[in-house]
Amino acid sequence: MLKGAKRKDYEDGEIMERKRKVQAGFAAISIAGILLVSMASLGLFAGSSTSPSPMPQSATPKGTPTPIPGVIYAGTYLQIGINNGGTFGVGNGTDGFGVGFQYPIGNPFESLAIWWWGEGYVIAYKVFVDGVWLDRIAYWWPSLGWPPPAFCRMVPVASGEYMNDDNRAVFWSQMRTIDLALTLTFAFSFPKEQKYVLLQTVIKNNFGTKLRDVLYKRIVDWDIHQKMINEWTNDAHAAYASLYNPSLDRRITLSVAGYSNPTPTLSDLIGYVDLHAWDDINAWGTSNTTRNPGKMDIQSHDKPLIIDGNAAIYYDLWDLNPRETRNVWTVYQAGWNEEMPS
């Protein structure tokens, strides 16, 4: 065992070496200006349910077609799996479930990497080609498999762990559109003693020309404790799902909220929240993904909907100038109350 000055010298050397590796890693992938913010829990709650139950809209439940690589972190309240593609969901789909977002900790309480592994994203943008603005769309979520199929138009670039100690874990990954137009950097920050996870998404225009009508959607399919039918509500920037678990005698509430940096030109706004993203995404690789919310653009501000919901948070970035970079944030939260089932 090292003691005294020798131990201090050893620890200082370890810290300097760690800093050197971190700085070298970030320089190698050209990540510039990522600032991971710490936020207090917002304590948002979905409320109780008295509404009728629409029919569920999920496709046939199944796992991912290929193992999804990533890392798993356990905290005091949450266990999460962050994959190399920039979403929650790590594991082997042939097992039926993996680790995505667990509250409390344990496989019976998995709420994202179960059935359709539906935590992902869509990026839509327009490029100017031969005098015409062409609309292009790229996307990925774990149920589409790894690496992303060609039709997703997303290519992995790099991923790695920025830090992992007793207090916080930070994991990042980079993806690029197949036409090289955009690079998306995802940085997940998990304070281990809290009930929330922070995600910063950095979106960069790689071209020397403007990209128009850039829209980023974050897709979140809460299936609380492996149950597809949950109680859903939303407000102007967040979606909330809740479920009463009789084994815990608690109503569990999980939420996803979007935040951005508004400017005087109204770019970078949270433009919309859709509780039924099933009809505007290519969930199983057999249909089309659109920039619009589809025909079933469901919202509910006043009373919970008892449905197999799938939330989409819309970040409207408007235009990206040549080489311009934008930042948006997503916050995932967990909580409970003692309300009995309706």
Residue 48, domain CATH:
2.70.98
Which pLDDT does position 188 carry in this prediction? 98
Strands 196-205, 325-337: pairing is antiparallel
Backbone angles phi, psi at 143, to 5 degrees: -65, -10
Q: How far apart are the first and last CA of the chain?
A: 59
Q: Give the pLDDT band (50/70/90) at residue 270.
A: low
Instruction: Give how far Cα 179 sits from Cα of 146, 205, 226, 339, Å.
Output: 19, 11, 37, 50
Which pLDDT does position 269 carry in this prediction? 61
* Residue 277: inside a domain: yes
C-alpha to C-alpha distance for 180 and 202, rounded to whole angstroms: 15
Secondary element (H or E) of residue 311? strand 311-320
* Residue 20: inside a domain: no
More confident residue, 300 or 175: 175
| pLDDT of 153 higher than 80 | yes
Q: Give the pLDDT band (50/70/90) at residue 277.
A: low
**Interval 306-324 mean pLDDT:** 92
Contacts for 256 with CB less than 8 Å, ≥ 6 apart: 218, 220, 222, 238, 239, 311, 313, 330, 331, 332, 333
Instruction: Quick: pLDDT tens for 2-61.
Output: 444 444 444 445 444 443 443 433 333 333 344 443 332 222 222 233 333 333 334 454
State the total domains in the chain.
1
Beta strands per DSSP E along 103-179: 119-129, 132-140, 154-164, 168-177
Which pLDDT does position 210 carry in this prediction? 97
* Residue 77: inside a domain: no
| pLDDT of 244 higher than 80 | yes
More confident residue, 118 or 13: 118
Q: Give the pLDDT band (50/70/90) at residue 118.
A: confident
Which pLDDT does position 330 carry in this prediction? 95
The pTM of this model reads: 0.78
Q: Give the pLDDT band (50/70/90) at residue 216.
A: very high
* Residue 250: inside a domain: yes
* Residue 199: inside a domain: yes
DSSP reduced 3-state for 283: coil
Secondary element (H or E) of residue 28? helix 4-28
Q: Which domain holds residue 261?
A: 31-60+118-337
* Residue 51: inside a domain: yes
* Residue 94: inside a domain: no
Tokens representing 247 are: 């084994």
Strands 168-177, 182-191: pairing is antiparallel
